[in-house]
Structure 1
Amino acid sequence: MNDRVPERISAYLDHLAVERGAARNTLSAYRRDLGRYAHFLADRGLGDLIEVTEADVVDFAGGLREGDDDYPPLAQSSLARTLIAVRGLHKFSLAEGSVAVNVAAAVKPPAPGRRLPKALGVSDVVAILEAVGGDDPRALRDRALLEVLYSTGARISEAVGLDVDDVDTVDRSVLLRGKGGKQRLVPIGRPALAALEAYLVRGRPALIARGTAAVFLNVRGGRLSRQSAWQVLRTAAERAGVTATVSPHTLRHSFATHLLDGGADVRVVQELLGHASVTTTQIYTMVTANTLREVWATSHPRAR
Structure 2
Amino acid sequence: MTTNLQAYQDYLIKEKNYSLLTVNAYLNDVLSFQEFLKINHESVALEEVVYPLIRSWIVLLVENKISNKSVNRKISSLKSYYKFLLRIKQIDVNPLLKHKSLKIPKKVQIPFSEREIENVFEVNQFSKDFEGIRNQLIIELFYTTGMRRAELINLKLSSIDFSNQTLKVLGKRNKERIIPLLLCTKSLLKEYLIVRLEKVKPSFSDVLILSKTGNKISESFVYRLINDYFSSVSLKVKKSPHVLRHSFATHLLNNGADLNSVKELLGHASLSSTQIYTHSSLNELKKVYQESHPRNQK
Instruction: Please indicate the TM-score interval, normalised by the length of the shorter structure.
Output: 0.5 to 0.7
Say yes or no: does 1:286 pair with 2:274.
no
Within 5 Å, give how 1:35-54 maps onto structure 2. Answer: none
SS at match of 1:206: coil
Query: Do the aligned partners of 2:111 and 2:246 also contact (CA within 8 Å) in 1?
Result: yes
Share of identical aligned residues, percent? 29
Alpha-carbon distance in 2 for matches of 1:111, 1:22: 12
Alpha-carbon distance in 2 for matches of 1:260, 1:217: 32
Q: 1:249 aligns with which of 242, 249, 261?
A: 242
Give the partner amino acid of 1:208. V
Alpha-carbon distance in 2 for matches of 1:229, 1:180: 22
Q: 1:125 aligns with which of 105, 117, 120?
A: 117
Partner of 1:8: none
Change beyond 3 A, Cα 1:186–1:176: same
Partner of 1:144: 137
Query: Do the aligned partners of 1:166 and 1:175 also contact (CA within 8 Å) in 2?
Result: yes
SS at match of 1:282: helix
Q: Shift of residue 165 of structure 1?
A: 0.8
Alpha-carbon distance in 1 for matches of 2:102, 2:130: 51
Alpha-carbon distance in 2 for matches of 1:208, 1:23: 51
SS at match of 1:243: coil
SS at match of 1:250: helix
How many residue pairs match? The answer is 207
TM-score, length of structure 2 as denominator length:
0.62
Query: Do the aligned partners of 2:250 and 2:278 also contact (CA within 8 Å) in 1?
Result: yes
Partner of 1:115: 107
Consecutive unaligned residues of structure 2, counting only runs of 5 or more, are 1-55, 69-99
Alpha-carbon distance in 2 for matches of 1:114, 1:22: 18
Change beyond 3 A, Cα 1:109–1:157: closer
Alpha-carbon distance in 2 for matches of 1:111, 1:293: 29
Change beyond 3 A, Cα 1:109–1:211: closer
Partner of 1:232: 225
Alpha-carbon distance in 1 for matches of 2:294, 2:258: 29
Give the partner amino acid of 2:215. G
Partner of 1:36: none
Q: Deviations over 1:199-228 (max 9, x none)?
A: 1112x1122112311111112211111111
Query: Do the aligned partners of 2:142 and 2:241 also contact (CA within 8 Å) in 1?
Result: no
Alpha-carbon distance in 2 for matches of 1:284, 1:20: 34
Query: Do the aligned partners of 1:230 and 1:248 also contact (CA within 8 Å) in 2?
Result: yes
Q: Shift of residue 188 of structure 1?
A: 1.1
Q: 2:261 aligns with which of 268, 283, 290?
A: 268
Q: Shift of residue 128 of structure 1?
A: 1.8
Query: Do the aligned partners of 2:231 and 2:239 also contact (CA within 8 Å) in 1?
Result: no
Q: Deviations over 1:253-302 (max 9, x none)?
A: 11111111111111111110000001111222222112111333345464
TM-score, length of structure 1 as denominator length:
0.61
Query: Do the aligned partners of 1:114 and 1:283 also contact (CA within 8 Å) in 2?
Result: no
Moved over 6 A (4+): 21-24
Change beyond 3 A, Cα 1:132–1:233: farther
Say yes or no: does 1:215 pair with 2:214.
no
> Which piece of structure 1 moves more, 241-250 or 166-175?
241-250
Alpha-carbon distance in 2 for matches of 1:168, 1:176: 11
Query: Do the aligned partners of 1:129 and 1:146 also contact (CA within 8 Å) in 2?
Result: no
Change beyond 3 A, Cα 1:176–1:300: same
Give the partner amino acid of 1:168. D
Within 5 Å, give how 1:1-304 maps onto structure 2. Answer: 20=60, 26=65, 111-130=103-122, 131=124, 133-202=126-195, 204-212=196-204, 213-239=206-232, 241-244=233-236, 245-300=238-293, 302-303=295-296
Query: Do the aligned partners of 2:130 and 2:212 also contact (CA within 8 Å) in 1?
Result: no
Alpha-carbon distance in 2 for matches of 1:184, 1:284: 20
Give the partner amino acid of 2:175. K
